[in-house]
Structure 1
Amino acid sequence: MTTYNLNIEYYETRATEMINKLLETLTRQEVKASAPLSALTSFKIGGPADVLIEPATVEGAADAISTLKDAGYPYMVIGNGSNLLFSDKGYRGAILRIADNLTKVEINETRVVAEAGILLSKLASQLMDRSLAGFEFASGIPGTLGGAVYMNAGAYDGEMKDVVEWADVLMPNGKIETLDNATLGFSYRHSRIMEAGGVVLRVGLKLNRGMYEDIKAKTDDLTEKRTSKQPLEKASAGSTFKRPEGHFAGKLIEDAGLRGLSYGKAQVSPKHCGFIVNNGGATAAEVLHLINVVRKTVRDIYGVTLEPEVRIIPEVPEQV
């Protein structure tokens, strides 16, 4: 991550001004200053964000983004923070977190409407209780529904594109558009929402009626596979690298002799080489160093370029 000579007083003043503007429509419980990002990400890494916004309603989220845009203040929207690596120095802007507060779910036969902040694991549990099949693959993905749709998250031969019927997306022009599956343009770990700079607010799912016992058995089987093969006991951002065409990232890393490679408190997981884990107190700089070593080694040996699946967020946003 790039090092900047920052005028801290300037950023503190801007943050204070922005918080005061946000408090015109949001409450003190929804807006905070200097929030540690290590507490908001599954990697447990990251310095403070100048402003943290946790809106209580979908409308509040839309209003907050409108206020941020009107002020020209840099911001980033996150969910459960399960696929992110923030700078050790934090983020000089606002983090808008769509998570714990935005979790309403409505179920009508085999169609489901859910707010973007609900955890995939909790949604999967609710759907299983209603004997709705097709969402089992997502039960162990550590993220929110909105984040999963944004990047077309998937596991064990299932992806969000298989179950999403539509999504309400807040577009950069401030309008909320309902986009159907085709318009969302899903592909591997990608959707058109990324290109458009949109924010997922609500999602419509189409599932299938199933037998509770079968759904539970499949969910339990996938849980056992994850537990036995993935380093869930360690802090991480999930799979560190995307799957290169014709290969598996973890296999390439293992065959390159990098299993267990450490730098500081960051380590290529001995349990699954596709994960870089935080052994307690790792820094973003250590993780980035390890990512670069892994990428260079695999490229030199196999001629394959591994692309990070984890999103690497700089201290100073590009908008500044």
Structure 2
Amino acid sequence: MDQLETLARTLRERFPELELREHEPMSRHTTFRIGGPARLMALPWDRKEAAAVVRTAAEAGVRPFFLGNGSNLLVSDQGYEGLIIKSSGLDQTREVNRRLRAESGIPLARLAMAALGRGLTGLEFVHGIPGTLGGAVVMNAGAYGGEMAQVLTAVTYLDETGKINTIPALECGLSYRHSLFSDHPDWLILEAEMELQPGEAEDVRARMDDLTARRREKQPLEWPSAGSTFKRPEGHFAAALIDQCGLKGLSVGGAQVSEKHAGFLVNKGNATAADMLGLIDLVKERVLRETGVELEPEVKFLGF
């Protein structure tokens, strides 16, 4: 019996209510709709369960991979031979003195609606980002002039031993698509606190509707993707460089550079991880050769 089999048995014995899946297809858990099976997946429904899983995994010498909505992730066709903890059950919100506190698994669209329902403004920019709050903090997610660094005040997380810690946003090392948590993938974000401002519900709703309309007009939302595949190079825009190189519509197998927005690499229905990785590499090579600019993927890779 190997480590993961032992861990699965221990988790079932100690926490019989915990949702635990073996050989779970990751294509069900990424917005690319790509990925082979995860050997073991735990889906805790509150922070107590999450902490228990992390501590039990540490005892077994297993380092978990933490998953939110899978909106920035490409998983190998062979899958992932490890433990994945999916935090979708951590999705509660509460307000304390205009500071909105939310658990890490809440989808960003729901988070924006929670702020709207409380008459608060400042999170409209996240409404169309297809991720969860935890992932947004890790990547300092942003869109249309807003980013998490503008509203974040504190983060509560589990370290690799299962100890709960809370740190102010100023200690989170937030920069472009990066944070302290990017450097510590074995830390699980449990909750984030955001300082927002009072806003008129009609104005907040109008701003969200406007951003949604702009996304629908400019982005290929009809196809599975991970959003913008590449980070913004200093002094450039990745989509403009890719378009400049005439790469719109370029395909490798079922993966394609979107004909609508060159920054999006999409799954046209049957793409494999190998297809998408091949397309990413091809785009990087062509852009570097023709413009001298090296593109860096924003997408994370698992199981390769």
TM-score range, shorter chain: over 0.9
- The residue that corresponds to 1:85 in the other structure is 74
Indicate whether 1:144 and 2:132 are aligned: yes
Percent identity of paired positions between Structure 1 and Structure 2: 47
1:125 deviates by 0.9
- Aligned residue for 2:14, secondary structure, equals coil
* Counterpart Cα distance in 1 of 2:18 and 2:184: 30
Q: 1:268 and 2:257 equivalent?
A: yes
What residue in structure 2 maps to residue 112 of structure 1?
100
User: What corresponds to 2:230 in structure 1?
Assistant: 241
The answer as to 2:45 corresponding to 1:60 is no
User: Which piece of structure 1 moves more, 128-137 or 21-30?
Assistant: 21-30
For the pair 1:185 / 2:179, whether they are aligned, the reply is no
| Matched residue SS, 1:291 | helix
CA distance in 1, matches of 2:76, 2:184: 25
Where does structure 1 lack aligned partners over 5 or more consecutive residues?
1-9, 316-320
Q: Secondary structure at the match of 1:24?
A: helix
CA displacement at 1:28 relative to structure 2: 5.1
TM-score, with length taken from structure 1: 0.92
Q: Secondary structure at the match of 1:23?
A: helix
- The one-letter code matched in structure 1 to 2:84 is I
Decide whether the 8 Å contact of 2:112 with 2:126 is kept in 1.
Answer: yes
Residues 137-159 of structure 1: CA deviation (Å, up to 9, x unaligned): 00110011011101111101100
The one-letter amino acid of 2:9's match is N
Show CA shifts across 1:19-75 (max 9, x none). Answer: 111123333551111111000110000010010100011121111111112211242
CA RMSD of aligned residues (A): 1.2
Check the 8 A contact 2:105/2:134 in 1, yes or no. Answer: yes
For residues 71 and 129 of structure 2, the distance between their equivalents in structure 1, rounded to whole angstroms, comes to 9
> Is residue 210 of structure 1 aligned with residue 212 of structure 2?
no
Deviation, 1:185, is 1.1
Q: Structure 1: which 4+ aligned runs deviate by more than 4 Å?
A: none
Aligned residue in 2 for 1:174: 162
2: distance between equivalents of 1:56 and 1:173? Answer: 19
Letter in 2 for 1:162: Q
Q: Is the 8 A contact 1:15 1:33 kept in 2?
A: no
* Structure 1 SS opposite 2:241: helix
CA distance in 1, matches of 2:16, 2:113: 31
Q: What is the distance in 2 between the residues matched to 1:129 and 1:113?
A: 14
Alpha-carbon distance in structure 2 between the residues aligned to 1:34 and 1:18 = 14
Asked whether the 8 Å contact 2:31–2:71 carries over to 1, the reply is yes
Q: How many residues align?
A: 303
- What is the distance in 1 between the residues matched to 2:60 and 2:272? 32
- Counterpart position of 2:216: 227
